[in-house]
Structure 1
Amino acid sequence: MQVVFHLGAHATDEDSLVRCLARNPRVLDENGVIVPHPRRYRMVLRDTLLALKGGEADPETADAVLAAVTDKEEINRIIFSHEYFMCIPERVVTDKGFYTMVPGKLEPLANIFPDAEIEFHLALINPATLIPALATRLPERSYDDLMQGVDPRDLRWRPVLERMVEAAQGHKIVVWCNEDAPLIWPEILHSLSGISGDVTLNGEQMILKTIMTEGGFRRYADYILNNPPKTVEQRRKITMAFLDKFAKPDELEMDVALPGWDEALIDEVTALYEADIDAIAAMPNVTFLAP
């Protein structure tokens, strides 16, 4: 059995991936892929993690978790998704740094199903986008409380992934950039589900529908229907052309109103993020989904 933990990150998904996959019950059933509703497993997994205290579950406990989260008996692959697997939003930045808790979460999650083949999936996000999103999400916290004295330039993904690879102990890690999601959404869905890319899944255009104008998306959908792209690269070129023309500006841009976050700092944080992405994409033991 394969078990996939989709970890987030914060401000990247809002359950869109599992909602998309759940729109494909026939294909999922044919492939033995289970996408349980988040309400069925989030408390169950939390309570199990607390009970195990990092140790390995015995077969009875693992079976009990599965029985609690799905009624299916034939399970080839099961997908769990929750940004809180990483940490609560208040602990994205602590006085120890950026997402420092995450590597320590991998082994306990894997230990719920010690006999399974485990995968960890994660969308990365530019800290220059993430921190404003967290500030909006946590309005009761001051900027200083949110940042815990950490310099924005030290919000680096590369060391997080390096520690995750070490902590994963050979388990598969799949990452992509949230900023690329509109171009690679079908590939993300297929990677998460393990279903062949030759199979068209419902919801492959869902993210585009949310970031394009209504008229622009209709034109895009009609064009794809009447001119089916022959390759992934061709589809991405068509998608980019329509996004350039019909994207909603407010969906692709975020106003930053944080102390000291001027344009120069935003550019610097973004440049560091892009450098980290280049390094992560070249890491051994990391599968990087790129446009």
Structure 2
Amino acid sequence: MQVVIHAGVAFSDNDRLIETLMANASVLNQQRVIPLDLAQGRQFVKVASDSMTTGVPLPDVLMGLNEVLPDRTTCDRVILSSDKVLGPRRAAILHGQFYPNAAERIAFLDRVLGADQIELSFALVNPASFISKLLMSLPEERRKAVLGNTDLSSLNWLTMVHELREMAPNVQITLWANEDTPLIWGDILRTLARLPDKAALQHEYAFLASVLTDAGRAELTQLLEQIAWQDRDMLRESLTHLFDEHADPAKIEEELEIPGWTSDVVSAFSEIYEQDLAALRTMPGVRVLQP
């Protein structure tokens, strides 16, 4: 069985992915694909995390995970989602890294589920946005500790993914930039579920519609009625133009709350982010989805 783990990251999903897959469960089940609900995903992560901490023998860990996973005789591919897979938010910035325990956690799951094929997927978030949101989500004492012990300018996603590849080389990794998500939402869903490119999905364009102005949503409806499903290239080009013209600034632009951060700081993080994405596109064992 293939176990597809959607790991967030934090502030990138808000449970939308697994909820959309659950809404398409009948389509997925026809392909022997089962999405676990959010409670099951959380239970999977809790069993794995608690077992790592307490040193539970691997056979016992597998027994606990099997209580959450579906029967392998009825399922070829299972999808679960939790932004705690790579680590809790309180440890998402630690030792000068993003999610420094991520590689160890995924390697542990790979050992436990040895007979199953693990795939890991998650969105990357511009570090300027991720750092700001994460720090503001922490208690003040914890936030001060991170700021006092971390060179924020050294934080990047490439280091984390390198460690994942080194410690869990058998795990296929699928990534995408969170900023691209509205434009490639259907591609993400079909990739994780391993559905045909032409498989119709409910709510495929709901994410895009949610970040458009009223005029943009009206134009989206007209566009989807006019362009044939088979003409994917034309549709993608039109959707990109629609997003550029009608994205609602209030829904896509973010206020960064760290005192002292200037536009130059944000630009520097954005440049590093683009460099990371370019490097990841060429990394063996890593697939990067893009418009």
Please give the per-residue CA displacement for 1:45-88, whole angstroms capped at 9, x wherever unaligned: 41244336677743x86466344455896111001111101111
Taking a change above 3 Å as real, the CA distance of residues 109 and 148 of structure 1, as seen in their structure-2 partners, is farther
Taking a change above 3 Å as real, the CA distance of residues 122 and 164 of structure 1, as seen in their structure-2 partners, is same
Q: Please tell me the root mean square deviation across aligned C-alpha atoms, in Å.
A: 2.3
Q: Which moved more, 1:221-230 or 1:120-129?
A: 221-230
Q: Secondary structure at the match of 1:22?
A: helix
Aligned partner of 1:181 in structure 2 is 181
Taking a change above 3 Å as real, the CA distance of residues 95 and 101 of structure 1, as seen in their structure-2 partners, is same
Aligned partner of 2:135 in structure 1 is 135
| TM-score (norm. length: structure 1) | 0.90
Please give the per-residue CA displacement for 1:2-34, whole angstroms capped at 9, x wherever unaligned: 101111111111111111111112211101111
CA distance in 1, matches of 2:279, 2:106: 21
Residue identity opposite 1:76 in structure 2: D
Conserved in 2, the CA contact under 8 Å of 1:165 and 1:285? yes
CA distance in 2, matches of 1:54, 1:205: 44
Please give the per-residue CA displacement for 1:75-121, whole angstroms capped at 9, x wherever unaligned: 11001111101111121111343221111111122234221111011
Note the 1:36-47 alignment, pairs <5 A: 36-47=36-47
CA distance in 1, matches of 2:275, 2:172: 23
Taking a change above 3 Å as real, the CA distance of residues 214 and 89 of structure 1, as seen in their structure-2 partners, is same
Indicate yes or no: 2:211 matched with 1:200.
Answer: no
Name structure 2 gaps, 5 residues minimum: none
Aligned residues between the structures: 290
Aligned partner of 1:237 in structure 2 is 237
How far apart are 1:139 and its partner, in Å?
Answer: 5.6
Indicate yes or no: 2:77 matched with 1:77.
Answer: yes
Conserved in 1, the CA contact under 8 Å of 2:32 and 2:74? yes
CA distance in 2, matches of 1:120, 1:86: 10
Residue identity opposite 1:202 in structure 2: Q
CA distance in 1, matches of 2:57, 2:180: 36
Aligned partner of 1:91 in structure 2 is 91
CA distance in 1, matches of 2:88, 2:124: 16
CA distance in 2, matches of 1:190, 1:141: 42
Asked which structure has the greater RCO (Cα within 8 Å, sep 6+), the reply is 1
Residue identity opposite 1:157 in structure 2: W
Identity of aligned residues (%): 26
Aligned partner of 1:167 in structure 2 is 167
CA distance in 2, matches of 1:44, 1:168: 19
CA distance in 2, matches of 1:178, 1:56: 37
How far apart are 1:219 and its partner, in Å?
Answer: 2.3
Aligned partner of 2:227 in structure 1 is 227
Q: Secondary structure at the match of 2:84?
A: helix
CA distance in 2, matches of 1:110, 1:54: 16
| TM-score (norm. length: structure 2) | 0.90
CA distance in 2, matches of 1:139, 1:216: 39
Aligned partner of 1:217 in structure 2 is 217
CA distance in 1, matches of 2:278, 2:55: 33
Conserved in 2, the CA contact under 8 Å of 1:49 and 1:108? no
Taking a change above 3 Å as real, the CA distance of residues 17 and 125 of structure 1, as seen in their structure-2 partners, is same
CA distance in 1, matches of 2:144, 2:193: 40
Please give the per-residue CA displacement for 1:211-233, whole angstroms capped at 9, x wherever unaligned: 11234213202221222354433
Q: Secondary structure at the match of 1:259?
A: coil
Residue identity opposite 2:158 in structure 1: R
Aligned partner of 1:51 in structure 2 is 51
Q: Secondary structure at the match of 1:3?
A: strand
Conserved in 1, the CA contact under 8 Å of 2:32 and 2:76? yes
Q: Which moved more, 1:1-10 or 1:127-136?
A: 127-136
Q: Secondary structure at the match of 2:158?
A: helix
Aligned partner of 1:101 in structure 2 is 101
Aligned partner of 2:3 in structure 1 is 3
